[in-house]
Structure 1
Amino acid sequence: MHEDRERCIRAVQAKDDRFDGWFFTAVRTTRIYCRPSCPAVPPKPENMTFYPSAAAAQAAGYRACKRCRPDTSPGSPEWNVRADAVARAMRLIGEGVVDREGVTGLATRLGYSTRQIERQLKEELGAGPLALARAQRAQTARILIETSALSMSDIAYGAGFSSIRTFNDTVQEVFALSPSELRRRATRTQAAATPGVITLRLPFRRPLTPDNLFGHLVATAVPGVEEWRDGSYRRTLRLPYGHGVVSLAPRPDHISCRLALTDQRDLQVAIARCRRMLDLDADPVAVDEQLSRDPQMAELVAKAPGRRVPRTVDGDEFAVRAVLGQQVSTAAARTHAGRLVTAYGSKVEDPFGGGLTHLFPDMGTLAGLDPAALAMPQSRRTTLTTLIAALAAGEVDLGGGSDWARAREQLAALPGIGPWTVEVVAMRGLGDPDAFLASDLGVRKAAGALGLPAAPAALTRHAAVWQPWRAYAVQYLWATDDHPINLMPQE
């Protein structure tokens, strides 16, 4: 996108927020960079330079605009659409892998050499993995400075900086303000921070229809791990350094997010996982335009544009839950999952005084479960225990940097995991926007009611016109039913 100069100029002059996160505008005369929708008077075209990432703009010597705060833009939708090495690397960087494991760890996870990864990222994003991770640390630092009462030394540590001096220098360089100045500016415009709680706004590209998004998460919520309370979807999070509890509530122009973490170093990972779960980096205009080319889908899209795919914070967890839900009702699947959580999940305190009591158990712990204790047919017990063993041993990779095609092959090779389970894990666990549940009863019923083919093979052929957004087509088809997964939760 950033290489199409004329298109970028038009977006900046129109202050079009649909392109926020797609590219960044650097102004040569002021040495600042902005999001396309910056409310300031657009600069002259001859003074504009376009970069594919905030890190690239920072590396070129530009600082972030204090008015439009480009570091808070939605992420590029490309990283959720693509499954190549660059997209997988960006998802892993968002998960904090470079901070925890270095560039070598990133390359190892992707199966490439460090030189190959650095070259590919620089060619496409104008910055290598260290620069991209540095930009992410700066953003995390800013959030902590503005929304918490933590000391600056604690913030530097929590944001992943190696020293206070590096923290101070980076914040000054990126934002043209010292950490103390950033905090003073924030306290003039924001409410006082609640001790131990980080409150922030998660931006998204409009439009967004939250009904099926929050409805699905709440209708399938595992007791003790997830709940709907006081207008918010809430859940516990297992994180690299500790755990957290998050409350997420839809607002007209953002998602309100309240986070309580046991270790501040997990902030960026927690934000990335929440954004991924709510599919906030999607490009709804591109999705809806493609789906609307099919006359039968156009009416559904027009009724509620901007539907998102409800995803997950943990691919392994979702795969286990998908198997627990095979051929049973939503209520039965919740019951099975709740029993696993009670028996094997780690207990936690709910800092907001709600009903969250456990973390969903990790695969290493579940590998020791007693199959005889599972109230399900023997065949499904075998499927579940085989899946858990494969996940615990790393034989199936459903993480942020996984290869979607390879993950499908690994899942399909396990006993009892057929096309429906593979595709639902690909859609909600891996985040593949083109995953398609052709054999799903709800999808087939909705398709038939619209005059579309209902047989899986014929429907798959017809769905070619929806590519590469078939997972979103599934959401629109499901939404024709009055099942609770499609309805905004009520108190």
Structure 2
Amino acid sequence: MHTDTERCVRAVQSKDARFDGWFFTAVLTTRIYCRPSCPAVPPKPANMTFYPSSAACQQAGFRACKRCRPDTSPGSPEWNARADTVARAMRLIRDGVVDREGVPGLAARLGYSTRQIERQLRAELGAGPLALARAQRAQTARVLIETTALPMAEIAFAAGFASVRTFNDTVREVFALAPGELRARSARRAGNPSAAAGPRTPGAITLRLPYRAPLNPDNLFGHLAATAVPGVEEWRDGAYRRTLTLPYGHGIVALGPRPDHIACKLFLTDIRDLTIAISRARWLLDLDADPVAVDEQLRTDPLLRPLVDKAPGRRVPRTVDAAEFAVRAVLGQQVSTAAARTHAARLVTAHGEPVEDPEGGLGRLFPTPAALAGLDPEALALPRSRRATLTTLVAALADGTLRLGVDSDWDEARARLSALPGFGPWTVEVIAMRALGDPDAFLPTDLGMRRAAAGLGLPATPAALTAHAAAWRPWRAYAVQYLWATDDHPINFLPPDEKVPA
């Protein structure tokens, strides 16, 4: 979009927040870059130039605006709506792969050479993988500076910098403030919800997760709460909480809906996991979606339009771990939500690693495929065919035959899943929707979908419904959320007796 100068200028002049994260405005006279919705007086069009990423702005010598904080914009929706190499690379960089494994590790995961990855990212984003990772490290550092009382040396290494000197130089270059000045400025800012006074709970990191409005929290948090596995997930004090398995340790995240952001509180055993924990929280809640584009497309169907107009901004509830969700999808085949939770809870109790929760009732990590690899099928209270399906899936995940994650090629993952015994279209598509993040995943055989379709006058047979839904592409996964929401199932509502704080 950054190449459409006229459209970008109109977005900046109207301060349109819908385009935050889609592109960045660099001001030639001040050498500052902003988000499109920056509250400052817009510069003259002749003084504007546009970049596709904050990393490209920084590489061109621009520093982040202190008013609109463009580095905290929601991520570009493109990286969630596409499955090409650049989109997959961006999702991996967001997950901190470059910091942990370097550019060669990124390239190896994608099956390309480092030169090919470098060339593709520069062509589309104006910056290579190292510059993109550096911009993310700067944002992580800012979060830690402003929300914790950690010493700057600890923050430097937690954010992924190789040295304190590099950390200091990067913060000064990107934000035009020294780290200490950035912390003091945050503390002085009246009413700043992330002020450096520190979190209320010792050891907690609190921050706000931005999103593009509108966001309907009902089905998003309702689904997560209604399907929560005891010990791993819970709804407590107006927030969805769960345990996380992370590269350097484990953690607990609490996520609560607010009128203009998602309140996030994190407990981490190793603070180096902050970047990936935030990334997984955003992915779980689909916070980088573009609801305006989605809803505009779905409104073109006169039968869907009333559902969208009634409750716009529905998101797809995803997962923090694709392998975990695949296991849970098999456990949920042809059983109720309650039965699926029971089966999952038994696996967690028998094979999940115990953890401590400083604030609630969580006590286990969901077991990894490696931990489930030695599972005794006879110990599962499942039909024999379902046991075979589960053990085959776990074996494929444990030995690397099947790889599921944010970097997955959606078509290849579907093919590999379909080749496993017991994996029909419903199981494959629900994994594609919620674990892989395909916005066009579709469930025409789902009973709830067919019931909702019949009630609205849509075709009720899978083939006819699929043909009709061609007009909803590439957002059929969101259409599924609107159709599911016509039912009075608990997944479509915030848990009872809980009110969203003002």
TM above 0.5, yes or no, is yes
Structure 1 stretches of 4+ moved >4 Å: none
Alignment equivalent of 1:458, drawn from 444, 460, 464: 464
- 1:212 corresponding residue in structure 2: 219
Would you say the 8 A contact 2:147–2:206 is kept in 1? yes
How do 1:300-379 residues align onto structure 2 when only pairs under 5 Å count? 300-352=307-359, 354-379=360-385
CA distance in 2, matches of 1:191, 1:70: 20
Q: Secondary structure at the match of 1:234?
A: strand
Cross-structure match for 1:151: 151
Aligned position for 1:410: 416
> Displacement, 1:299?
0.5
Deviation, structure 1 residue 373: 0.6
Partners of 1:351 and 1:12 lie apart in 2 by 44
Partner of 1:37: 37
Work out whether 1:290 is the aligned partner of 2:310.
no
Letter matched to residue 22 of structure 1: W
Q: Which residue of 2 aligns with 1:192?
A: 197
> Whole-Å Cα distance in 2 between the matches of residues 278 and 264 of structure 1?
22
| Cα displacement (A) at 1:400 | 1.3
Q: Does 2:401 correspond to 1:388?
A: no
Q: Which residue of 2 aligns with 1:98?
A: 98
Q: CA deviation at 1:369?
A: 1.1
Report the TM-score, using the length of structure 1 for normalisation.
0.99
Secondary structure in structure 2 of the residue aligned to 1:186 = helix
In 1, distance between residues paired with 2:338 and 2:411? 31
Indicate if the aligned counterparts of 2:146 and 2:196 stay in contact, CA closer than 8 A. Answer: no
- Distance in 2 between the 1:208 and 1:100 partners? 33
Q: Which residue of 2 aligns with 1:73?
A: 73
Q: CA deviation at 1:490?
A: 2.4
Tell me which residue corresponds to 1:27.
27
Q: Is the 2:417–2:428 Cα contact (8 Å) retained in structure 1? A: yes
Matches within 5 A, 1:51-70: 51-70=51-70
Q: Does 1:12 align with 2:12?
A: yes
Q: C-alpha distance in 2, partners of 1:400/1:341?
A: 24
Output one character per residue of 1:370-423: Cα deviation in whole Å (capped at 9) or x when no partner.
Answer: 111100100000000000000111111111111010000000000001000000
SS in 2 for 1:313: coil
Amino acid at match of 2:54: A
Deviations 1:72-102 (A, max 9, x none): 0000000000000000000000111101111
Q: Partner letter of residue 197 of structure 2?
A: A
Check if 1:245 corresponds to 2:237: no
Q: Provide the rounded CA distance (Å) in 2 between the counterparts of 1:188 and 1:365.
A: 48
| Alpha-carbon distance in structure 2 between the residues aligned to 1:196 and 1:223 | 24
Q: Secondary structure at the match of 1:445?
A: helix
Counterpart residue type for residue 403 of structure 1: D
> CA–CA distance in 2 between the matches of 1:89 and 1:170?
23
- Residue segments in structure 1 that go unaligned for 5+ positions in a row: none
CA deviations on 1:246-297 (whole Å, 9 max, x unpaired) are 1100001000000111111110100000000000000000000000000000
2:429 alignment counterpart: 423
Secondary structure in structure 2 of the residue aligned to 1:233: strand
Partner residue, 2:500 = none
Give 1:191 shift: 6.3
CA drift of 1:53 comes to 0.1
The residue type equivalent to 1:374 in the other structure is L
For 2:161 and 2:314, locate their aligned partners in 1 and report how far apart those are by CA, in whole Å. Answer: 37
Distance in 2 separating the partners of 1:351 and 1:154: 22
Q: Which amino acid aligns with 2:90?
A: M
Matching residue's letter, 1:177: L
Mapped partners of 1:442, 1:400: distance in 2? 27
Identity of aligned residues (%): 77
For 1:351 and 1:11, locate their aligned partners in 2 and report how far apart those are by CA, in whole Å: 45
Distance 2:161 2:115 in 1: 24
What runs of 5+ residues in structure 2 fail to find an aligned partner? 190-194, 498-502
**CA distance in 2 between partners of 1:427 and 1:292 (Å):** 21
User: 2-side partners of 1:192 and 1:440: how far apart?
Assistant: 49
Judge conservation of contact 2:18–2:213 (CA < 8 Å) in 1.
Answer: yes
Tell me which residue corresponds to 2:138: 138
Confirm or deny: 8 A CA contact 2:23 2:52 kept in the other structure: yes
CA contact (8 A) 2:183 2:196 kept: no
Query: What is the alpha-carbon distance in structure 2 between the residues aligned to residue 209 and residue 37 of structure 1?
Result: 22
- Alpha-carbon distance between aligned partners in 2 of 1:14 and 1:351, rounded to the nearest angstrom: 45
Does residue 129 of structure 1 match 2:144? no
Residue 351 of structure 1 deviates from its aligned partner by 1.8
Query: Residues of 1 paired with 2:299 and 2:400: CA distance?
Result: 40
| Amino acid in the other structure paired with 2:198 | A
Secondary structure, counterpart of 1:227 in structure 2:
strand
- RMSD after superposition: 0.6
SS in 2 for 1:218: helix
CA distances 1:149-174 after superposition (whole Å, capped 9, x unpaired) = 11001000100000000000000000
Q: Post-superposition shift, 1:465? A: 0.4
Counterpart of 2:120 in structure 1 is 120
C-alpha distance in 2 between matches for 1:158 and 1:240: 13
